[in-house]
Structure formats: C-alpha cells, structure tokens
Chains A and B, each alone.
Chain A
Amino acid sequence: MNNPHIIPLDVIQLVYAYALILLSLALARLQHIGHEKQLLWSSIRMLFQLIAVGYLLHLVFAVNSPLPVVLMLLAMAGFSLQVAGSRIKKRMPNFYRVVGSSIIIGCGGVTFYFCLLVVGYSPWFDPRYLIPLAGMIFGNAMNGASLAAERLSSEMHERREEIECALSLGATSRQSAGEAIRNAYSAALRPTINTMAATGIVALPGMMTGQILSGTEPIIAVRYQIAILCAITGAVAVTSFLIVQQGYRRFFTDAHQLKRE
C-alpha cells in the first residue's frame, strides 16, 4: 500500500516535528502559564496513542473482517462518551445513558448512511473507509454532544425560576424548558456552522489536506471534504437533537415537576 506520491516520514523527521512541541513548551514556561506539564503530558499521550492506533489499524486492515472493525467503532464511541463526560463539570441526570444512546444512534446512523449510500463502497466494513470516516464523524459529534449536554445542564440550572414560573402557569415540562432546549441545541450546532462557513477560506480541512498530500486529485479531495462536512453536520445535528430531547426529560418527573438539584 506504499504510495509513490507521498514522502514517508522517518524517525529523524518526526524528531524535527516534535521540536515544535518543545518550542511551545519553552514559550509556555516563558509566559509562566503553569500548564507546561499538561502540554508535555498531552504531547506524550498523543504520540503513544497515535502509534498504538497506527499498529492497530495495520492489524485491522490485515485481518479484513467485520468483527474487529465493529469493535473498533464501539471503542471509538466509548472513548467519545468518556471524553465528553470528563469535559463536563455539571452533568445532567443519567448523563451516560442519554449521551451514549444519542452518540450510538446519531453517529452510528449517519456513519452507515454516509458509507453505504453516499460513498457506496464494498464490502460495507472496509476499514480503509469505515474507520477514518467514522473517526471524523464521531470526533466532531462528540464536541457537539459535549456542548449540548453541558449547555442544557447549565440552562436548566440558571432558568430554574423561569421554568417553575411556567410550570405554575400550567405549562408542560417541554414548554417550560423550551428556551433552555433551544439554547442548548443552538450552542451545539454553532461550531459546526462556523466551521462550514470558514472551510476553504480560513483553513483547509485535515481530510482534504491528507488526501492531496497522498496524491489524490484536489477536485476529488474537495468532493470528499464536502461530503464529510455534510455527514459531520448531520451527525452533530442528530446526536445533539437526541441529547436535548432525551436530556431535558431527565430534569422533570412525570408530573411535570422540576427535580430538586
């Protein structure tokens, strides 16, 4: 699978690249931001995680069977959930159930729709397509999921008086939490909307850049990029929608009562 168009990076070249991390570390120390250890630790994690994933992908590609591919997708979903959970200080009730099911349905559904209908490769589990595409979809949807869940929790907390006022006037729990739901959903979609608007002008996306570097015609790379951005938007929209719709209910009882915090 060696591509004649791409220059393979050897260890020396990677050391040169890593020098930029050391430069960042020096600048952080100069500014006394106090995050030097975190920066170093994150870079080491990144290094080992990517090397491990590289070998894992090599293995999965070699086996070429649906089981390891599906297991890898499930592991990605699990890590997405864990990362989303660790980022949030104040979690909604039943956080892992709500966000986990939303990621599986939202991202899983969009990934399979995209792979089978849009790209249409065969076999369906071809890891060369399914894993990187799912990785991008899950990774971006995880950001949307975090934002939706965190914003919903904070809105429900801050709008307690408004919600109880509406409930006291005969509103349903859905009506009383309407503004919180709208704001949480809007916050979840905003970065994706901004990314779409800026793509191609402010920044060239990673997937497109990678394809061009590996010798793909820019026009084809662009088409893939357009398609994947549509898929990411769809996954963020569906996942966040499921989170806010399932999530707000967790703050209420069946008798339209706001649960005590």
Chain B
Amino acid sequence: MDMNQQQKSGNDPLVEFIDVGVTKLSPAGTTKAILDRISFTARQGEITGIIGASGSGKSTLIRLCNRLDDPSEGTILLNGQNIATIDPLLLRRKIAMVLQKPFMFEGTLLENLQRPFLFRNMAPPSAGSNEIARVLDLVQLSSEMLDRDARSFSGGEQQRVNLARALVNHPEVLLLDEPTSALDRPSTARLASTLSNICHSEHLVIIVVTHDLYLAEHIVNHLIYLEEGQIVEQGVGTQMLAMPQTTTFRNFLAKPEREQKSFS
C-alpha cells in the first residue's frame, strides 16, 4: 500500500516528502528520532489525512510543510522544488496553515481577514470586496458578522475564521493541525463538509492531521497512519479503515480512546 508505488492520477504531485526525518537532542545528549524516513505524496484535489496516537509525530510532520520547523534529514518538495530553497515568507503564502487551537487577533472578523494583507504590506480589502465575500462564502460565514469582535465567536466559528483567513492568500496547499479537536460532532461534520468543498473548488492540496476518525472516514482520500515517528500504513482512506493491514493500526482503531480530543 505504498503511495510512492501508486500510479499518478493525472495530477502532478504538489507536496512530496522524501525520506524526511526529525531528530531531537535529549538533555542527556542522546538523539531521539521524532520522525523517521517519512515518504509520501499529497496531490491536488485530494485530502491527505495523517492519523496516529498522541506523540506519534503528526504535529511535527505538518509543521515541516510550511517550514515552521525544518527536518533534520530528507527533502520536501513543492511542485518539484525543494522547499528549503524557497523564501519562507513566500512559501507560507503558498502553503497556508490552520493551527490546532484557533487564534483570533484582536479586532473584528474583518480585521482578522485583513491581517494577511497587512503582513504583505498590501492595502487590505474592504468589507464589500469580492475577496472577503469569496472567503466568507467558502467557509459559510455571514458578511453580517464582519463587524463583530472576533474573540466573541464560538469555537466552531473561530475555526471557520481561521480557515477563511488562511484562504485569503490564495494558497496552493492547506495544512490543518487537529482542526476538530475543540469541536463537537455537528461542528465537526460541518467543517468536514466545508473542507471537502474547498478542496475541490479551490483545487487545493489539503493535508490534515487528526485524531478524529470522523474526518478520516468521511473526507480523507489518502490516509497515513503514523506510529512513533514512522509510517506504519498508508493508502486509500476508506480501504485502510475497512481492512487494516497491520496489527498496530488495527489496535489503534480498536482503542476506545482513539476518538478522544487530543492537544498533542
């Protein structure tokens, strides 16, 4: 079930991990592998899900994609170009990321959506602009909310604002770190549907780290199961969940705590 062995589906691969590893130096002076020889390909129009228990290296992996951290070894390619050679500021406009805990900057919803433009020293779009209307529409938020204090929003709404804010830069890749960890089941289902729609309408590569099998079951195309920093199994999501090939993945699926919300 190695994706590298799979035939390309006609789309060019956009994000490719080749033998990526991360090691950490312990206070005792020994090195520990957080990620070990990770290789996979995430394609346009597909949602790649990374699942695994707390401490398996999921969040470390996703942080490498937009260079919030750098790998100790291996290469990550974006459209065939090594991301280590791309200006990180430019890279992060192409590869947007929504962090695990939604963060709202001080101010209104509109001011939050304008932030990425200010970071680029560009004139921010107005409330009535097509740009703002586009992202609000994508995440199903009403324009009537634009003047509201962003910090007064509910958890689900804040997650949507974070998503909308990540999309204003017109990214090619969208990374989501545990997007449902603070959401109840109806909000999770709504977010899953939104992500699925965005992936197709915006022709994005979406990589989502999750603890929540709901997302894996309903929207993930390519699933990667990570354990202790290594890929144990990867393949088509629905097939993997229906017929786990390894004992460790079977055990993971059988654990009742697998659906617990995690902040790892």
**Interface of A toward B, CB cutoff 8 Å:** 161-162, 164-172, 175, 255-258, 260
B169 touches A165 (CB 8 A): no
Contacts of B119 in A (CB 8 A): 166, 169-172, 175
A-B contact count (CB 8 A): 57
A161 touches B101 (CB 8 A): yes
Contacts of B74 in A (CB 8 A): none
Q: What residue of chain A has the Cβ atom nearest to residue B106's Cβ? A: A179
Q: What residue of chain B has the Cβ atom nearest to residue A159's Cβ? A: B103
Q: How far is it, in angstroms, between the C-alpha of A74 and the C-alpha of B66 when the chains are bound?
A: 46
A170 touches B70 (CB 8 A): no
Q: How far is it, in angstroms, between the C-alpha of A257 and the C-alpha of B84 when the chains are bound?
A: 13
A167 to chain B, nearest CB (A): 7
Q: What residue of chain A has the Cβ atom nearest to residue B165's Cβ? A: A169
Q: Give me the 3 closest cross-chain CB pairs, A-B, nearest first.
A: A168-B97, A171-B119, A165-B103
Q: How far is it, in angstroms, between the C-alpha of A175 and the C-alpha of B105 when the chains are bound?
A: 13
Bitwise, B155-198 to A at CB < 8 A (1) or not (0) is: 00000001001100100000000000000000000000000000
B88 to chain A, nearest CB (A): 5
B96 touches A168 (CB 8 A): yes
Contacts of B103 in A (CB 8 A): 161-162, 165
Q: How far is it, in angstroms, between the C-alpha of A255 and the C-alpha of B89 when the chains are bound?
A: 8
B89 touches A170 (CB 8 A): yes
- With most chain B CB atoms within 10 A of its CB, the pick from A169, A171, A175, A258 is A169
**Interface of B toward A, CB cutoff 8 Å:** 66-70, 88-90, 92-93, 96-99, 101, 103, 105, 115-116, 119-120, 162, 165-166, 169
Q: How far is it, in angstroms, between the C-alpha of A168 and the C-alpha of B92 when the chains are bound?
A: 6
A52 to chain B, nearest CB (A): 41
- With most chain B CB atoms within 10 A of its CB, the pick from A162, A172, A255, A258 is A255
Contacts of B115 in A (CB 8 A): 166, 169
A106 to chain B, nearest CB (A): 30
* A164-B68 CB under 8 A given contacts A170-B92, A171-B119: yes
Contacts of A172 in B (CB 8 A): 89, 119
* A169-B69 CB under 8 A given contacts A161-B99, A162-B103, A162-B105: no
* A255-B70 CB under 8 A given contacts A161-B101, A170-B169, A175-B119: yes
Q: How far is it, in angstroms, between the C-alpha of A200 and the C-alpha of B99 when the chains are bound?
A: 52
Some 25 contacts from A to B, beta carbons below 8 A apart, are A161-B101, A162-B103, A162-B105, A165-B162, A166-B115, A166-B119, A167-B68, A167-B92, A168-B166, A169-B92, A169-B115, A169-B165, A169-B166, A169-B169, A170-B90, A170-B119, A171-B89, A171-B119, A172-B89, A172-B119, A255-B67, A256-B88, A257-B67, A257-B88, A258-B68
Q: What residue of chain A has the Cβ atom nearest to residue B103's Cβ? A: A165
A160 to chain B, nearest CB (A): 10
Q: How far is it, in angstroms, between the C-alpha of A171 and the C-alpha of B116 when the chains are bound?
A: 7
B214 to chain A, nearest CB (A): 24
B105 touches A170 (CB 8 A): no
Q: How far is it, in angstroms, between the C-alpha of A169 and the C-alpha of B166 when the chains are bound?
A: 6
Q: What residue of chain B has the Cβ atom nearest to residue A253's Cβ? A: B70
B263 to chain A, nearest CB (A): 12
Task: A168-B92, A170-B92, A257-B68 are known; give 20 further A-B pairs, CB within 8 A.
Answer: A161-B99, A165-B99, A166-B105, A166-B115, A167-B68, A167-B92, A168-B68, A168-B96, A168-B97, A168-B99, A169-B92, A169-B115, A170-B93, A170-B119, A170-B120, A172-B89, A175-B119, A257-B69, A257-B88, A260-B69
Contacts of B105 in A (CB 8 A): 162, 165-166
A257 to chain B, nearest CB (A): 6
B116 touches A255 (CB 8 A): no
Contacts of B98 in A (CB 8 A): 168
Q: How far is it, in angstroms, between the C-alpha of A131 and the C-alpha of B207 when the chains are bound?
A: 63
Q: How far is it, in angstroms, between the C-alpha of A258 and the C-alpha of B88 when the chains are bound?
A: 12
Contacts of A168 in B (CB 8 A): 66, 68, 92, 96-99, 166
A251 to chain B, nearest CB (A): 13
Contacts of B88 in A (CB 8 A): 255-257
Q: How far is it, in angstroms, between the C-alpha of A168 and the C-alpha of B101 when the chains are bound?
A: 13
B123 to chain A, nearest CB (A): 16
Residue from B89, B93, B120, B162 within 8 A of A256 (CB atoms): B89
A164 touches B99 (CB 8 A): yes
Contacts of A258 in B (CB 8 A): 68
Contacts of B96 in A (CB 8 A): 168-169
